[in-house]
Amino acid sequence: LAKTTQPISMDSYEGQEVNITCSHNNIATNDYITWYQQFPSQGPRFIIQGYKTKVTNEVASLFIPADRKSSTLSLPRVSLSDTAVYYCLVGDVYAGNNRKLIWGLGTSLAVNP
């Protein structure tokens, strides 16, 4: 099973670019990499998903190297409202009942004025 590792916490300032890296050395061939954002007292919210190379949407970019053993969530020009916990999720295996979704422990991002 893929195990994910991400930093426990990060600090940044408004307007800076923030990169959060998740390690998943044992990622399986069929696994996608997904990032979620969670604010206090709310459920996690989908940010971005990718399989390889680079994915970009209106909120973030996701960089995945060729070996797929890690991924980096990039948040451009963060604001105070980006203060949240960010989770890396590896999984999406469809092989009969062998479906596993491995969540990271989350990175608590604090954006300072």
Partner 1 sequence: DTAVSQTPKYLVTQMGNDKSIKCEQNLGHDTMYWYKQDSKKFLKIMFSYNNKELIINETVPNRFSPKSPDKAHLNLHINSLELGDSAVYFCASSQEMRPGTQYFGPGTRLLVL
Helix-, strand-, coil-residue percentages of the chain, each rounded to 5:
5, 50, 50
Smallest separation, CB 77 to partner 1 (Å): 25
Using the rule CB under 8 A, which residue among 2, 20, 44, 70 binds partner 1? 44
The answer to whether residue 38 forms part of the interface with partner 1 (CB under 8 A) is yes
Q: Is there binding between residue 103 and partner 1 (CB under 8 A)?
A: yes
Cβ count near 58 (within 10 Å) = 5
For residue 5, the 8-state DSSP code is B
Positions 82 through 101 that interact with partner 1 (CB under 8 A): 85, 87, 89, 91-92, 94, 97, 99-101
The whole-angstrom separation of Cα 56 and Cα 35 is 12
What's the min distance (Å) between Cβ of 32 and partner 1?
A: 5
Note the maximum CA span of the chain.
Answer: 49
Encoded amino acid at 55, one letter: V
- φ and ψ of 93, to 5 deg: -90, 125
Q: Does 55 bind partner 1 (CB under 8 A)?
A: no
Q: What residue ranges bind partner 1 (CB under 8 A)?
A: 32-34, 38, 41-46, 49, 85, 87, 89, 91-92, 94, 97, 99-101, 103, 105-106, 108
